[in-house]
Amino acid sequence: MFKDIIGQGDVKKKLIELVRQNRLSHALLFLGKEGNGSLKLAIALAQYVTCDRVNAGVSRSTPSLFENATTAQSTPLDRDPEMPFGPTDSCGVCVSCRKSVQLIHPDIHFSYPVVTRKTGSPPISTDYISEWREFIKMYPYGNVYDWLQFIGAENKQGNITAQECNDIIRKLSLKSFESEYKILIMWMPEYLGNEGNKLLKLIEEPPPNTLFILVAENESLILPTIVSRCQLIKIPALETADIDEALIREHEAGTELARQAASVSEGNYREALLLLKHAEEDWQALLREWLNAILKTGPVAQTKWVEEVSRLGREKQKQFLRYFNHLLEQAIRHKLLAENIFLPDNEKDFANRLNRIANISQQQAIVEELDKAVYHIERNANAKILFHALTIKLYHIIQDKIVLLTN
C-alpha cells in the first residue's frame, strides 16, 4: 500500500491523480536510483488499480482506466466509509489486496533478471517466483546484486531472456482472471537486451486494460525503442528526514545512529539499513589509518592497509568510501557556506582536519575519485588493485598539504 512506503509523497499523489483522472498511460517507466522505493511504488500502484473497493467507488464515463489525457474525465472517487484510508490508497482488506500483498494476485505478473539453473534450459522469471516473493518480503529496498545473491547466482550475469519475453506475451494475451486489469511489473529492464524488441508491439498496442510498469535505475541501458513508448515517472532519492524517521520507527534505531545513517546514505534506504547493520564498524579509525599511511607513514603502511580493506567485502568497502565522501561533503559545506554542520564532535573535528589537508578543489577531486571507486566495486573490480590505485591518486591530489590525523 502507498501508506507503507517511506516518503515519496509527491510521487504517490501524482500516481493516484493519474488513476482517478483516467490519465494513466498503459506503459510507465519508474526511473530513479536504488534504495528509493521504486519497486514498492510499482507494487502499491498495481494493488491500488486492482483493489476491489477502490474500483467499486470509481465513477467513469469511459470503461477503460487508460485514457488519452485530452479525453479523460476528471471524476473523483466516491468515498467508501468502510475504506480505512479513503480513495487515496487501496483498502488492504479485500481479497484482491490480500493477494497483491502476498504477490500471488493472478493478474499481477512480475519479470526480473534471472540466471540459468540447468544448462540448455533458458530461464524465465516464473522459475524463481517463490524466491521472488520471499526476497520482496525480506529486502523490499534491495538492489539487483542482493537479488542475484539471494538466488545463488554467485558470479553469473542475470538476464531477462527472449524466452521471458515470449512468456510475457503469452501471459498478457490471456483474459484476466479476477481483476478488470492485467499488470506486468518489470524490474530492472536494463537487463533486457535486444530481445526486448519482441515486446515493442505489445507495449505499443496492448490488449485492453493492460498496464506495463518498468522499474529502472539507468535509462541509458534500456532499449530506446522501449523508453520512447513509456510515460516517464521520475522517482527522486528519499529525503534524509524520511529515512531518519523510518529507521527509528521500523528498526528502533537510536536517534544519533539513525541520523548518521540517514545522512551518509544519500537518499538510499538500502544503504541506510546496511549502515545500521554495521554500525559497530569504526570507519573513522579506518579512514584515519589510510590517510596517515598516504601522507605520513609511506608504502609499507599503505600496502598493509590495502590488504586489510580488501578483506572487508564489497558492501563494506562501498560503505567505507561513502562515509569518507560524507565527511568530505560536510567539510566542503562548512568551509564554502560557513554552515554550522550538525555532526558528532569527533566527526566535526575530522571534517575540520580534512579542510586543513586539502582545499575545496582538492576535496572535490577526491569525491570524484571515491565515486568512481564505488562504481567499479559494484562491478566486481579487484579490491587490491583498486585501493592501491586510489591510494596513489589521493597522494597526488593532496601531497602538498600534509597533516597527521591523530585521535
Q: Can you tell me the distance from the alpha carbon of 407 to that of 405, in angstroms, rounded to the nearest whole number?
A: 7
Q: Read off the pLDDT band of 279 (50, 70, 90).
A: low
Cβ atoms < 10 Å from Cβ of 188: 23
What's the pLDDT score for residue 340? 56
23 neighbors 69 (Cβ within 8 angstroms): yes
pLDDT at 66: 53
Q: How far is CA 127 from the centre of its chain?
A: 24
CB atoms within 10 A of CB 2: 21
Specify the DSSP class assigned to residue 5: S
Sign of CA dihedral 338, 342, 345, 350: negative
Helices within 32-94 (DSSP H only):
38-50, 52-56
pLDDT digits (tens, 9 = 90+) for 115-126: 987 777 788 999
Query: What is the set of domains in the chain, with CATH numbers?
Result: 2-236 (3.40.50.300), 281-398 (1.20.272)
CB neighbours of residue 406 within 10 Å = 7
| The pLDDT of residue 306 is above 80 | yes
Q: Which position has the higher pLDDT, 213 or 312?
A: 213
Alpha carbons 329 and 388: distance in angstroms, whole number:
23
Task: State mean pLDDT over 70-79.
Answer: 35
pLDDT value of residue 60: 43
Tens of pLDDT, residue by residue over 141-155, are 998 888 988 888 877
Work out the percent of the chain whose per-residue pLDDT is above 90. Answer: 33
φ, ψ (nearest 5 deg) of residue 140 = -65, -20
Q: Is residue 334 scored above 90 in pLDDT? A: no
Q: What is the mean pLDDT of residues 335-342?
A: 59
What pairs with residue 216 in β-bridges?
31
User: What rounded mean pLDDT belongs to the chain?
Assistant: 82
Flag whether pLDDT at 227 surpasses 80.
yes
Cβ within 8 Å of residue 98, ≥6 positions away: none
The reply to whether the predicted model has a pTM over 0.75 is no
Q: Are the C-beta atoms of residues 113 and 158 closer than 8 Å to each other?
A: yes
Instruction: Taking residues 391-397, report their average pLDDT.
Output: 89
Q: What's the rounded mean pLDDT across residues 31-50?
A: 93
Q: Is 220 exposed, middle or buried (0-12, 13-18, 19+ CB in 10 A)?
A: exposed
For the chain, how are helix, strand and coil distributed in percent, rounded to 5? 55, 10, 35
- What does the chain come to in residues? 407
Exposed e or buried b per residue across 250-268, where buried means at least 16 C-beta atoms within 10 angstroms of its C-beta: eeebeeeebbbbbbbbbbb
Mean pLDDT of 48-67: 64
pLDDT at residue 87 in the model:
65
